[in-house]
């Protein structure tokens, strides 16, 4: 598929990276010659140096016959005009990064319609939504939804002393009486697609699938309850902070935002009525303690500096804050932070590139490939894919225990008539089902038939 | 340093050459030349076994290569290619000396067309075909061919393919036609094949024998210049000579422009500065030389034909000849000598400095002179309507300096031969620019047989330097490349 990306900054280059990985024909446009050269050296793409609103440049980049056109510069207006031009030139689908709240709240629908945008990308808002989901289920470190929220994959870490530690997977269902499936386990750097004899240990990160009521049932029997985070402290008054605070306030949580810049504080207090806005330097531990760090339910580090977020999050974790979320953009740092013991790491650019890859896959799906949605889980070490079962899949109506699956592949769920089934060995795949498959990332699945030997 | 990957790719190249030995084998079968059949079969098996073994031994786990591996791969691939390619000549005894055979093969792959053969017409058809076919392979590049035909299994390992692409394609700025290097390589090879076939059709339509048409078509396409007659192309009809003239000029044009023509982007093609400079240079040179050699041929059409042919042959770095331009007046010879430096357009199969480099060099001069006049002025050098960045500018100047150093070094090294200044200088210039013929004793109707083995090795290196545009070879033999510092 031919894809043109305008702007190869943090967001643009992450999108570019994952699209090249997917095997698309990618053209990158950037005004900075150095950036373009670097991109061309690193990836198998065509680079064009120039402005994304220059007709000749867009033509040179082939925007007129692009399947997807993505404008991901830091300027909303430029992105919108660029997408508008590309659309008029003949690009099939246009995606603009629009992150200013001004455009995002009431106007977005109008803008999208008038500019004929296929999607408006707001990395900040997407990141805020993800953080909000985690704060709703504080025991999870990451939550992904499938099939219009009928089915979820939750990543959580088995804490020391948890009832799960030391259990064999085959004994779990009998003990907990809840229908769920542990479909992937990360231990250290390794990712396992576990079989029934796999024994869990404290410190493992597990990926768990179940329907929402079942998850709540399981959590209750694990003694984790379903307590939501009530009081959240947010460090840094960025756009993400704004979106997150809005959502938290709307669902009745207490929000405290700490921000250094006076103007930003004023802005925030004007737009967020119920939030407590503190002007001060969040790197000062004294200030954090004074504002009640050790009594809150959740702490979210959203400053512009990855390093600062990591260090302050570690401090918050030592103060026994139950849930600590840190925004870390650079992959290398995210890995380091995970080693230092931070569980919840959110990278806006990663989220955005996942959304785009999913969009591209869905487009391909409409043209033959059967992947409905795709999520990366466990720090990109495993993938979860949703397939539609179409006529060409031969192994229908065979109990799963008789299916010979390839190594490191697991059927995590079946959705039949919009109802999720957590499959056991007796279940079968039937026509028109949706099947959710977990696979270690070293394999690439394009079709449901790829899972059987 | 990913040594396994270097070794593996070189193995791939040798294996590919083994497969390509099938073509001269077919030619030998057609003419039923028993010795050639045997020797090409031996070479084929040897190349396949050797290439296969190298690939087996060094199956790399990690396929990531960086710029430095790219340069080294290209250098060793070309040396291995030339060494393996000379095997049939040596074992068949048609060119018994190892040095001669290596020189001839390097000359073939680098599309130089300088020959040590004194009696071309006594060679077998199979060998003659292989000799010319090396031009065709070397013209567009063998690693580019590998890239076009070998399927890659995932996106990651081809990610750095651009390093190889850039090292093998000629010119200061290499762009892609389409996002993927592999697809770009395919398009280039299709265009190349198409143009070659077109020339073949034109030649055969003009009554040139089948074998001669094939050999000359592939020789022109790679801008090589190995002939199969002692007097090169002098014995063929004026029609054939005109056809070859036009195709020599065409193969000196940036291939991207042909692609744009197919896409009907005529504006891009006709506003291409490099193309116009190239055409203007040819037109002016032809004009002066036609006037200058009129007294020899006494008729306008012959003068025009000979001057056009020779100018096209030199500027596109092909080196076919229809006349012994050694006998021409000094003015004509000097113009041709200068044309040797210029060469064709970037992104073509031609050698030389490349027109775009010459344009940039002149613009740098202009810029610096202006800066002397207006010390605070800020000017940018533009090519094809776009500003050329400072990095490219300085690399063009450095390239020119390095090129001159190596040219003069080659000249000095071959000066141990008791030959005239004109012979040695023109031989060095001709080899480093991949032209073929020089002047005086290295002239179009003579050859390089007069040189000793030592000089042949020196000139072989010069040809490789010219074809790969210096840097890959210099880097591959630069000690710091190999240390872990």
CATH number at residue A410: 3.30.70.1450
The pLDDT, as a whole number, for residue B265 is 84
Are A253 and A280 within one domain? Answer: yes
Contact call for B182 and A45, based on CB within 8 A: no
B284 close to B332: Cβ distance less than 8 angstroms: no
Q: Give domain status of residue A353, yes or no.
A: no
The pLDDT, as a whole number, for residue B160 is 58
The pLDDT, as a whole number, for residue B156 is 38
The pLDDT, as a whole number, for residue A68 is 93
Q: What is the rounded average pLDDT of the residues B458-474?
A: 92
ipTM over 0.90 threshold: no
- With contacts defined as CB-CB under 8 Å, which chain A residues touch B163? 41
Q: Is A128 helix (H, G, I), strand (E, B) or coil?
A: helix
- Which residue in B290, B292, B313, B314 sits closest to B303, CA to CA? B290
Are A204 and A165 within one domain? Answer: yes
Max mean pLDDT among A75-84, A320-329, A351-360, B63-72 falls in A75-84
Residues A305-341 have pLDDT tens digits of: 889 999 999 999 888 888 889 999 887 888 888 788 7
The pLDDT, as a whole number, for residue A401 is 79
Are A116 and A159 within one domain? Answer: no
A417: contact with B, CB 8 A cutoff: no
B386: contact with A, CB 8 A cutoff: yes
Residues B81-96 have pLDDT tens digits of: 999 999 999 999 888 8
Give pTM, 2 decimals.
Answer: 0.81
pLDDT at A374 over 80: no
Pair of tokens at residue B277? 């400079």
Q: Is B341 helix (H, G, I), strand (E, B) or coil?
A: helix
B384 close to B374: Cβ distance less than 8 angstroms: no
- With contacts defined as CB-CB under 8 Å, which chain B residues touch A40? 162, 176
B384: contact with A, CB 8 A cutoff: no
Q: What is the rounded average pLDDT of the residues A381-390?
A: 80
- Which residue in B1, B226, B238 sits closest to B121, CA to CA? B226
B176: contact with A, CB 8 A cutoff: yes
- With contacts defined as CB-CB under 8 Å, which chain B residues touch A27? 179
Residues A2-17 have pLDDT tens digits of: 999 999 988 899 899 8
Q: Give domain status of residue A136, yes or no.
A: no
Interface probe with B: pick from A24, A41, A44, most Cβ of B within 10 Å? A44
Least CB–CB distance from A46: residue in B155, B156, B179: B179
Least CB–CB distance from B180: residue in A44, A49, A444: A44
B162: contact with A, CB 8 A cutoff: yes
- Mean pLDDT, chain A, rounded, equals 83
Task: Answer with the one of A105, A121, A137 that is the final residue of a domain.
Answer: A121
Count of domains forming chain A = 4
The pLDDT, as a whole number, for residue B274 is 92
Sheet holding A93-97, edge to edge: A46-49, A25-30, A2-6, A68-71, A93-97, A119-121
Q: What is the rounded average pLDDT of the residues B192-214?
A: 94
The DSSP letter of residue A446 is S
Are A317 and A281 within one domain? Answer: yes
The pLDDT, as a whole number, for residue A85 is 94
Distance CA B333, CA B343 (A): 16
Q: Give domain status of residue A439, yes or no.
A: yes
Q: What is the rounded average pLDDT of the residues B338-365?
A: 91
Are A274 and A204 within one domain? Answer: no
The pLDDT, as a whole number, for residue A229 is 66
Are A194 and A249 within one domain? Answer: no
Distance CA A296, CA A437 (A): 38
Smallest Cα distance from A25 to chain B, Å: 5
Q: Give domain status of residue A127, yes or no.
A: no
pLDDT at A22 over 60: yes
- Mean pLDDT, chain B, rounded, equals 89
Residues A192-248 have pLDDT tens digits of: 888 777 888 888 888 888 777 777 777 777 776 556 668 899 999 888 999 999 989
B137, B142, B146, B147: CA torsion to nearest 10: -110
Q: Give domain status of residue A337, yes or no.
A: no
Contact call for A44 and B161, based on CB within 8 A: yes
The DSSP letter of residue A313 is H
B360 — pLDDT class (breaks 50, 70, 90): very high
B67: contact with A, CB 8 A cutoff: yes
Residues B384-416 have pLDDT tens digits of: 777 888 888 888 999 999 999 999 999 999 999
Smallest Cα distance from A276 to chain B, Å: 48
Smallest Cα distance from A356 to chain B, Å: 17
What phi and psi, each to the nearest 5 degrees, are found at residue B116? -100, 0
User: What residues make up the domain containing A399?
Assistant: 361-451
A121 close to A98: Cβ distance less than 8 angstroms: yes
Q: Give domain status of residue A138, yes or no.
A: no
Residues B251-306 have pLDDT tens digits of: 999 999 999 999 888 888 898 899 999 999 999 999 999 999 999 988 899 999 99
The pLDDT, as a whole number, for residue A368 is 59
Are A156 and A205 within one domain? Answer: yes
The pLDDT, as a whole number, for residue A378 is 76
B273: contact with A, CB 8 A cutoff: no
The pLDDT, as a whole number, for residue A42 is 82
Q: Give domain status of residue A343, yes or no.
A: no
Q: How far is CA B326 from CA A132, A263, A360, in A?
A: 84, 82, 64
Q: What is the rounded average pLDDT of the residues A126-144?
A: 81
Residues B306-335 have pLDDT tens digits of: 999 999 999 999 989 898 888 899 999 999
Are A10 and A95 within one domain? Answer: yes
Are A46 and A108 within one domain? Answer: yes
Q: Is B401 helix (H, G, I), strand (E, B) or coil?
A: helix
Pair of tokens at residue B419? 């030959």
Chain A, nearest residue to B388 by Cα: A33
Least CB–CB distance from B181: residue in A2, A33, A44: A44
CATH number of the domain where residue A310 is located:
3.40.50.720
Least CB–CB distance from A21: residue in B155, B183, B389: B155
Contact call for A45 and B67, based on CB within 8 A: no
Are A212 and A235 within one domain? Answer: no
Q: Give domain status of residue A406, yes or no.
A: yes
Distance CA B353, CA B278 (A): 12
CA angle, B137 as apex, B275 and B252 as ends, to 5°? Answer: 15
Residue A328 CB partners (closer than 8 Å, separation 6+): A306, A309, A310, A334, A337, A345, A346, A347
A341 class by beta-carbon count within 10 Å (0-12 exposed, 13-18 middle, 19+ buried):
exposed
Residues A139-188 have pLDDT tens digits of: 777 777 766 666 778 888 887 777 777 888 777 777 777 777 888 888 87
Least CB–CB distance from A23: residue in B155, B176, B181: B155
- With contacts defined as CB-CB under 8 Å, which chain B residues touch A43? 159
Are A154 and A241 within one domain? Answer: no
Chain B, nearest residue to A44 by Cα: B159
pLDDT at A96 over 80: yes
Residues B112-170 have pLDDT tens digits of: 988 888 888 888 999 999 999 999 999 888 888 888 887 664 333 455 567 777 778 77
Euclidean distance between the first and the last CA atom of chain B, given in angstroms as a whole number: 11
Task: Answer with the one of A121, A154, A189 that is the final residue of a domain.
Answer: A121
Are A365 and A297 within one domain? Answer: no
């Amino acid at each position: 598929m031919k894809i043109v990306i305008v702007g190869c900054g943090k967001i643009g280059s992450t999108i570019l990276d994952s699209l090249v990985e997917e095997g698309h024909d990618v053209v990158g446009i950037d005004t900075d010659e150095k950036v373009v050269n670097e991109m061309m050296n690193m990836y198998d793409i065509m680079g064009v140096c120039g402005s994304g609103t220059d007709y000749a440049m867009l033509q040179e980049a082939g925007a007129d016959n692009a399947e997807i056109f993505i404008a991901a510069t830091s300027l909303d207006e430029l992105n919108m005009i660029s997408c508008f031009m590309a659309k008029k030139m003949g690009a099939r689908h246009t995606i603009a990064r629009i992150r200013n709240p001004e455009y995002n709240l009431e106007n977005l629908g109008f803008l999208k319609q008038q500019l004929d945008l296929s999607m408006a990308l707001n990395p900040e808002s997407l990141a805020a939504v993800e953080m909000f989901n985690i704060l709703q289920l504080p025991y999870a470190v990451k939550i992904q939804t499938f099939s219009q929220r009928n089915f979820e994959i939750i990543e959580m870490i088995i804490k020391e002393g948890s009832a799960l530690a030391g259990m064999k997977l085959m004994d779990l269902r009998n003990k907990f009486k809840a229908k769920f499936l542990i479909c992937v386990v990360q231990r250290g750097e390794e990712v396992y697609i576990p079989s029934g004899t796999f024994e869990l240990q404290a410190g493992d990160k597990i990926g768990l699938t179940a329907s929402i009521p079942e998850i709540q049932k399981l959590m209750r029997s694990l003694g984790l309850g379903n307590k939501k985070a009530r009081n959240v402290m947010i460090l840094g008054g960025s756009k993400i902070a704004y979106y997150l605070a809005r959502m938290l306030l709307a669902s009745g949580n207490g929000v405290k935002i700490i921000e250094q810049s006076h103007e930003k504080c004023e802005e925030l207090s004007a737009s967020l009525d119920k939030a407590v806005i503190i002007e001060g330097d969040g790197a000062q531990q004294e200030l954090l303690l004074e504002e009640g760090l050790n009594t809150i339910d959740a702490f979210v580090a959203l400053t512009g500096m990855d390093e600062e977020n990591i260090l302050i999050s570690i401090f918050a974790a030592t103060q026994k804050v139950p849930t600590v979320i840190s925004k870390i953009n650079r992959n290398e740092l995210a890995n380091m932070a995970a080693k230092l013991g931070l569980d919840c790491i959110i990278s806006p650019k990663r989220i955005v590139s996942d959304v785009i890859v999913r969009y591209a896959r869905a487009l391909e799906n409409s043209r033959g490939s059967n992947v409905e949605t795709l999520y990366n889980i466990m720090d990109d070490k495993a993938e979860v894919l949703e397939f539609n079962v179409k006529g060409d899949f031969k192994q229908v109506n065979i109990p799963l225990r008789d299916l010979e699956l390839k190594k490191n592949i697991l059927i995590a769920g079946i959705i039949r008539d919009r109802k999720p089934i957590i499959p056991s060995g007796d279940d079968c795949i039937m026509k028109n089902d949706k099947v959710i498959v977990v696979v270690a990332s070293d394999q690439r699945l394009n079709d449901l038939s790829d899972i059987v030997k | 340093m990913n040594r396994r990957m270097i070794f593996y790719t070189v193995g791939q190249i040798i294996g590919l050459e083994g497969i390509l030995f099938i073509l001269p084998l077919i030619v030998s079968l057609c003419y039923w030349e028993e010795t050639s059949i045997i020797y090409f079969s031996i070479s084929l098996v040897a190349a396949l076994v050797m290439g296969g073994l190298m690939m087996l031994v060094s199956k790399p786990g990690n396929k990531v290569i960086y710029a430095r591996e790219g340069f080294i791969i290209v250098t060793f691939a070309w040396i291995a290619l030339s060494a393996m390619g000379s095997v049939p000549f040596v074992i068949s005894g048609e060119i018994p000396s190892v040095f001669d055979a290596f020189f001839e093969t390097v000359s073939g792959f680098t599309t130089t067309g300088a020959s040590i053969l004194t009696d071309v017409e006594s060679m077998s058809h199979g060998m003659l075909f292989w000799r010319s076919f090396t031009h065709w392979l070397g013209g567009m590049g063998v690693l580019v061919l590998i890239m076009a035909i070998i399927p890659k299994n995932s996106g990651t390992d081809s990610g750095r393919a651009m390093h190889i692409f850039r090292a093998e394609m000629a010119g200061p700025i290499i762009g892609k036609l389409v996002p993927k290097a592999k697809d770009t390589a395919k398009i280039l090879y299709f265009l190349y094949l198409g143009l070659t076939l077109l020339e073949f059709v034109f030649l055969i339509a003009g009554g040139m024998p089948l074998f001669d048409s094939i050999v000359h078509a592939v020789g022109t396409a790679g801008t090589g210049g190995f002939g199969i007659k002692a007097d090169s192309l002098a014995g063929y009809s004026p029609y054939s000579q005109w056809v070859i003239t036009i195709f020599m000029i065409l193969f000196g044009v940036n291939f991207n422009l042909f692609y744009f023509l197919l896409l009907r982007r005529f504006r891009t093609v006709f506003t291409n500065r490099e193309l116009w400079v190239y055409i203007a240079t040819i037109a002016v040179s032809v004009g002066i030389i036609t006037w200058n050699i009129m007294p020899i041929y006494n008729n306008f059409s012959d003068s025009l034909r000979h001057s056009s042919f020779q100018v096209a042959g030199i500027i596109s770095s092909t080196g076919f000849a229809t006349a012994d331009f050694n006998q021409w007046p000094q003015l004509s010879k000097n113009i041709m000598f200068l044309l040797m430096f210029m060469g064709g357009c970037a992104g073509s199969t031609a050698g030389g400095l490349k027109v775009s480099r010459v344009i940039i060099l002149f613009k740098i001069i202009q810029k610096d002179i202006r800066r002397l006049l207006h010390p605070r002025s800020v000017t940018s050098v533009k090519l094809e309507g776009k500003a050329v960045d400072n990095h490219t500018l300085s690399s063009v100047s450095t390239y020119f300096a390095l090129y001159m150093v190596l040219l003069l070094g080659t000249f000095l090294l071959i000066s141990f031969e008791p030959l005239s200044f004109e012979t040695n200088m023109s031989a060095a210039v001709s080899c480093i620019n991949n032209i073929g013929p020089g002047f005086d004793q290295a002239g179009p109707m003579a050859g390089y047989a007069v040189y000793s083995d030592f000089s042949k090795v020196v000139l072989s290196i010069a040809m490789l330097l010219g074809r790969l545009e210096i840097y890959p070879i210099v880097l591959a033999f630069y000690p710091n490349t190999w240390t872990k510092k």
